[in-house]
Amino acid sequence: MAHFYLQETLRAAQCRPGVVVSVDGAEARHAVTVSRVRPGDRLRVGNGAGLLLQGTVLTAEALVLTLRVDDASETAAVTPRIRLVQALAKGDRDELAIQAATELGVDGVIPWAAARSITKWEGPKIAKGHERWISIVREASKQSIRAWLPGVAPLASTKQLAVLAATTRMLLLDPTASGRLTEVAAPTDDRDILLVVGPEGGISPAELLLLEQAGATQVRLGDTVLRTSTAGPAALAILNATLGRW
């Protein structure tokens, strides 16, 4: 049962075993024309909000497929949530970071226009870049069969991050920090944890100062310097263990 599809309109109260549900649009088209799903096949379907279904395909057409629900389960949202603040980076390094972070269980992603970001989202690129990240997170969620689909926030400035630092537990990943992420104590409240990863040149001194003054804490992962594409996923793996998710 390798196939997993998302149908956000599904509601848990309507998806009991024996009920027939539909998958339509691009998901149905991909299932039927690309994955060659046929009646009798078994699939997993989720709504991205905790619901996971296992079912048997009854009909498979290009615009819609139907399946009988064989099993239904709900997964509660985790607390505290971990969100990755990923600075825009050249090439596909920022995209690699959010893809891996999604597979590792991140609960949300925030694109950040950092001072040292070479890549810029300006004008029409803002909407295009945001949609691209949503697509990457969605596909990574399907690949890893996640019950919850991480949200992708609008592009944030450093000043907007400073506002978030006042109400979250913001951790700034910087290789020069004195404290290690492994030394950070498990949280005692439900505030979101925000992992902030800079671009290729790192987080600028001015940004570090502004965010620290707003309540953020600098931490490092170890004695080596990681790429912007690997720092976030590495930190997320550590937090997964710290929080008992793994």
Half-sphere exposure of residue 59: CA atoms within 13 angstroms, side-chain side? 11
Residues of the chain with pLDDT under 70: 1-2
Res 1: pLDDT: 47
Per-residue pLDDT at 64: 93
Name the E strands within the chain.
Answer: 4-6, 20-24, 42-46, 51-60, 64-74, 82-87, 108-112, 151-152, 169-173, 193-197, 217-219
Residue 122 burial (CB < 10 Å; 0-12/13-18/19+)?
Answer: exposed
- In angstroms, the CA 160 to CA 207 distance is 12
The predicted pLDDT at position 179 comes to: 92
In the prediction, which pLDDT does 62 show? Answer: 85
Looking at residue 219, what is its pLDDT?
96
Which of these, 173, 176, 92, 170, lies nearest to 136 by C-alpha position? 92
> Rounded to two decimals, what is the model's pTM?
0.93
